[in-house]
Amino acid sequence: MEWKLLADNLTNPSLLFFCLGLLAVQLKSDLEIPSNSSKFITLYLLFSIGFRGGQELSHSEIEAEVIWTIITAVSLSLLIPILAFFLVKNKLGVENAGAIAAAYGSVSAVTFITAVSFLEAHSIHFGGHMVAVMALMEAPAIIAGVLLISLYRKTTTKKSNLAALVKHAFTNGSVLMILGSLVIGYIASDSQAEGIAPFTTDLFKGFLSIFLLDMGITSGRKLKTFWDNGWFSFGFAILTPLCIGSLVAAASLWVSPQDGNRLLLTVLAASASYIAVPAAMKLAAPKANPGLYVPMALAITFPMNIIFGIPWYLYIIHQFPL
């Protein structure tokens, strides 16, 4: 079954559009998605997944599983940055290590959305509270990365304003959109939600395909700069999230009995942020090289997760049933 899931994933139109974007860069094509359109599609995807998650959450009870999932997720978003920081600090320096730590402790909303689409395509149920879990994992990782930089920075440069960074993490457009949509979806009645269902549901996969095409183009362009930093960064961007994801997939049976919830928690732990974290690091670590940590998260970890990681994590979950 798992090999069939991997084969299905490799022929998924959304993934193939991502590959088309990579190919377009290699062919030096002028194919591109206008930046305003790309931003709109990003907001649409976050709106759709947040609203639908709020609807699901309104129909479920706040049980021990939900509480334990949130505690586990926030703990992971604090522990993963510490692990990542010490793995790369001596090789890449404190500032870069802090930015990488924040990126890999934080989450990729697009990877999460792709995993949701994967689960829906294979009729695997998941709880609406997982959207809230995703949103709550953003800020702790950024804070952890900033604190690690502050603790290990050798120079006496100006310390980052922690309160401003926390505020920025929660008011970041992507975080605010998904949290706001989650609340609105939770409040809206079933009949009200039905009125916009064609927009929140029917158009989702088409917009996701176009967005992943844009992500493929962006990844392909950033990949060129990335290779200047050698094989160490590449190995970290592949092996670290894969190992973390595999461990979380196996251990997630203690958090949730549902395969869908376990997969989403695993994907969140294994993903890396390339939107919120770079924006925060401009304030917190201006000396960190975005040509290093952004391609690591976007051009290496992101495609690894959506091509191979998602079906692999589900395979491990099936090997460790409750």
Q: What is the DSSP string of 244-282?
A: HHHHHHHHGGGT-S-HHHHHHHHHHHH---SSHHHHHHH
pLDDT value of residue 311: 92
C-alpha 271/C-alpha 252 separation (Å) is: 16
What the block records as the tokens of 21 is 């974007």
C-alpha 169/C-alpha 35 separation (Å) is: 22
pLDDT value of residue 265: 97
Q: At what angle do helices 310-319 and 259-270 cross, to 10 degrees?
A: 130
41 and 214 Cβ atoms separated by less than 8 Å? yes
Helices assigned H by DSSP within the chain: 2-10, 13-26, 35-58, 64-92, 94-105, 109-121, 129-136, 138-152, 162-171, 173-187, 190-195, 197, 204-226, 231-251, 259-270, 276-284, 290-295, 302-304, 310-319
pLDDT value of residue 154: 67
Gyration radius of the chain over CA positions: 19
The closest of 77, 203, 64, 215 to 143, measured between CA atoms, is: 77
The closest of 143, 123, 22, 21 to 79, measured between CA atoms, is: 143
Q: Which residue has the tokens 């706001």?
A: 180
Q: Give me the number of domains the chain comprises.
A: 1
Structural domain boundaries enclosing 149: 2-319
How confident is the chain (322 residues) per 10-residue block, as mean pLDDT? 60 82 90 86 83 79 86 95 95 91 91 90 88 82 85 61 65 73 88 86 85 82 68 92 97 94 97 79 76 84 91 94 80
Question: What is the torsional sign of CA 206, 9, 232, 223?
Answer: negative
pLDDT value of residue 81: 96
200 and 48 Cβ atoms separated by less than 8 Å? yes
CATH number of the domain at 56, please: 1.20.1530.20
pLDDT value of residue 6: 60
pLDDT value of residue 156: 45
pLDDT value of residue 317: 95
